[in-house]
Amino acid sequence: MVDVRFTVYYRRATQLADAMKLCQVEPSAYASAAALLAVHSAISYSDAVLIGLGGARPRGEHREAITALKRACTGARVDHQGIVHFQKLLSAKNDIAYDEKPVDNERVTALCIAAERFRVWAERILEKRQGRVSS
């Protein structure tokens, strides 16, 4: 039986990631939106992975999720490679959301690539753990 919380975060993650891709169609018009969607899709994927691996999502700072993911992956004996992409996205979160400078297209592209790589990593883990992931 799939945990209801897992389904909520997984659906949120896929919706945000799909919206990010839509924003990339016109990067100059939606640069900030694409960057924010990249970060938030990764946060939701992180929550889904943590729940999918039998853990709980952190209630505090998003940075706590990095430690929780590492711990959960170690316990489940799955690779940690995707976490580096998550770290990159989280480190950019405050700049993108709250900085007064515009987000340039090069940075948006890098963040969207990191988000997509994190998505692929998360989907691979979830498929192994949950069987066929349903949205």
- Mean pLDDT, the chain, rounded, equals 89
Q: What is the pLDDT of residues 39-65, one digit of tens each?
A: 999 999 999 999 999 887 887 777 788
Label residue 134 by pLDDT band (50, 70, 90).
Answer: very low
Q: How far, CA to CA in Å, does 135 sit from each of 8, 34, 54?
A: 9, 22, 18
Specify the CATH class of 4-130 in words: mainly alpha
Structural contact between residues 127 and 50, judged by C-beta atoms closer than 8 angstroms? no
